[in-house]
Structure 1
Amino acid sequence: MSADGQIMDLSSRTLEKLENENNKNGTVKQVLLDGCVPFSHQVAGHKCGINNTGVLQHPDGTILKQLQAPPRGPREMNFYTQVFAKDCTDKRLLDLKQHLPKFYGTWMPRESPHELYLKLEDVTRRFLWPCIMDVKIGRRSYDPFASKEKREEQISKYPLMEEIGFLLLGMRVYQIDSDSYITHDQFYGRSLGKDTLKNGLSRFFHNGQELRRHAVSLIISKIRSILRWFENQTQLHFYASSLLLVYEGSPRTINKSKHKPADPGTEHQQGEPQSKALSFHSSLTHSHPYCHGVQHKRTPMEYMEEVEKRKMRKS
């Protein structure tokens, strides 16, 4: 299931832009084991793996996420293995599969064979200037087996999450006027209160000149399809899971590919906004599957719609 040896096909123009971006940020991409580099579009998550860099990008264009310590890491790997098994016939898992990044098995660097990584699709790869937001969903940011201390620690980080059902973990938004990105981390997300949430979320859809209303509409549609999956099943219960939202940042480049997709059979159009539940464990995008009933959770987009409806009723 590995695609080692396949070299990522980047246009010279894209390489030049990436180089310029690194120069603006005062950074130089470090080539790590087996030609891997730090994933430039990581907006949230723990810094772990090779040299504590976080998620890595393989030369073939896939991303590598180091397996966490038990029980979380093995649970995550087992879940991906079940969903993407060729003989999987569970309709609920097959329906969920369309909302996940493709899973290409595991990968180990030749220099460090004791380290195990999940090999996943890079869902940002079909975009020229991907705008990315990672949002933790649900009212709990801990699993059912967490200690009292762990629960209290997680709740204290963002008490409002228990009420509104989500937390902005990070975002990276392309700005047309400056031809650069603005970024916000989890501390920005935790600083948002009830009165600032709407404006905080809307920053993800503003390119420095206008609000990308079309992207808002399309992403809401995709989130609703994920919500329908949750509402129609009770087999799995996801704790501390998150969605990765991506859309093309430059309206002039929609439907133009940044480079070739990692999987030629991908169902998404080039530059089409999408929402994905990216992985199953930690802050980057994590979900813990358990066999419990699933309660309805409001998504950030639903929250924004609700705020607008309230304003209209008041007026």
Structure 2
Amino acid sequence: MLETMKKRNKEFEAIVRMDGCVPFSNQVAGHKCGINNTGVLQHPDGTILKQLQPPPRGPREMLFYKQVYAKDCTDVKLLDLQQHLPKFYGTWAPQESPNEVYLKLEDVTQGFLRPCIMDVKIGRRSYDPFASQEKREEQIRKYPLMEEIGFLLLGMRVYQMDSESYITHDQFYGRSLEKDTVKNGLSRFFYNGKDIRRDAISLIISKIQSILRWFENQTQMHFYASSLLLVYEGFPHGVNGTKHRRIELLQGSECNHTSLTQSGRPCSQPYDTDHLHGIQSERNINGTCGESEDIGMEHQKPEKRVEVKMIDFAHVFISDSPDESYMYGLRNLLSNLEEILKD
């Protein structure tokens, strides 16, 4: 046991030393930090680093991002899709391991003080058309109800007002949900220990409907084993919220001043600059350096209190027909959320 702990501590220290990157604290699903896969990391400039998976999955996901965010992209559907994805900042590799490639992405949870996060896999099946029979059977065994329900809760992290702490549920909780209990499982994501966050549900429904409209008007891609990342602000609104928000941001102002240049690139970090299309110049990629004005939740636009983004694109394939499987999952997810809102 002691040797195992020492080994894990060494692995963690190695990760921390990797150009100042650390394990992403808001990860609720997917690969965690480990011996063979460092999983999702957070770069000092605030972006997210997702390690490229082995071929063909990793290269396929990288190609997807590069096509959607290509500088010379003129495909209206792909340009419209950008609003539903994390911003793509190219690729990155640590100095000591230049062959270890990561996708450099927007941190969707950035700007939330107490982000409540849920990862939901969408679609009637989580294996692609080229999966082996063994792989298909494995995925079906994991959650036989995927075909009928159309989505799977992979993990969630929810801020509790009464205890001022987080509760978490992993993929095993999601797989335990039946057709008649999946709505209750979704409800847990919006329960803050005191109330159901109906305001967050309503705003998230609107964003998912926008994604559904995009799918209803495209016939060029099918998405398998892809997820929606749902985020809403768990911190209370009001004067106290403003005060605490300002304090936390000011404490975070000592962030090495990794502000964006006019081109939209973090000023001190090297990475692939060939695929920076779509990056908007902001005051700061962390939204914090040097800021001293009150920017509490009541100063944000209502739609900024939630975020919904599509993530995980290792199984995206060209098609010539509507993605009925993904749309089925979106519609069933919307139906359950609307029922929670009515209840």
Shorter-normalised TM range: 0.7 to 0.9
1:119 to 83, 104, 107: 104
Q: Distance in 1 between matches of 2:217 and 2:337?
A: 22
Provide the rounded CA distance (Å) in 1 between the counterparts of 2:41 and 2:17. Answer: 9
Q: Shift of residue 52 of structure 1?
A: 3.6
Instruction: Provide the C-alpha distance between the structure 1 equivalents of 2:198 and 2:307, rounded to a whole number of angstroms.
Output: 14
The CA distance in 2 between the partners of 1:44 and 1:203, in whole Å, is 17
Q: Deviations over 1:220-277 (max 9, x none)?
A: 00000000000101011111111000010112248958658976549x9585201100
State the match for 2:312 in structure 1: 279
Structure 2 partner of 1:171: 156
% identical equivalent positions? 70
Segment drifting more, 299-308 vs 244-253: 299-308
The more displaced of 176-185 and 51-60 is 51-60
Q: The residue matched to 1:169 in structure 2 has which SS?
A: strand
In the aligned structure 2, how far is the partner of 1:238 from the partner of 1:56?
24
Q: Which residue of 2 aligns with 1:207?
A: 192
Partner residue, 2:50: 65
The aligned residue for residue 231 of structure 2 is: 246
1:136 to 91, 96, 121: 121
Is 1:297 the counterpart of 2:282? The answer is: no
Question: Which of structures 1 and 2 has the bigger CA Rg?
Answer: 2
CA distance in 2, matches of 1:198, 1:79: 32
How much does 1:278 deviate? Answer: 2.0
**Distance (whole Å) between structure 2 residues aligned to residue 71 and residue 238 of structure 1:** 15
- What TM-score, normalized by structure 1, do the two folds share? 0.81
CA displacement 1:114-161 (0-9 Å, x = unmatched): 200000000101100000000000001001100011001101100101
Q: Deviations over 1:170-204 (max 9, x none)?
A: 00001111111100000000000122111110000
| Residue aligning to 1:3 | none
Query: Larger % of helix: which?
Result: 2
Indicate the residue corresponding to 2:84 in structure 1: 99
Q: Which residue of 2 aligns with 1:288?
A: 316
Amino acid at match of 1:278: I
- Kindly indicate whether the alpha-carbon contact (under 8 Å) linking 1:49 and 1:65 is maintained by their aligned counterparts in 2: no
Any gaps of 5 or more consecutive residues in structure 1? 1-28, 282-286
CA shift, 1:53, in A, is: 3.8
Alignment match, 2:171:
186
Task: Report the more deviating stretch, 63-72 or 249-258.
Answer: 249-258
Q: Contact 1:254–1:271 (CA<8 Å) still a contact in 2?
A: no
Structure 1 partner of 2:289:
none
Q: Which amino acid aligns with 2:310?
A: A
CA contact (8 A) 2:38 2:51 kept: no
TM (norm. structure 2) is 0.75
Contact 2:225–2:312 (CA under 8 A) maintained in structure 1: no
Show structure 1 runs of 4+ deviating over 6 A. Answer: none
CA distance change for structure 1 residues 122 and 254 in 2, over 3 Å: closer, same or farther? Answer: farther
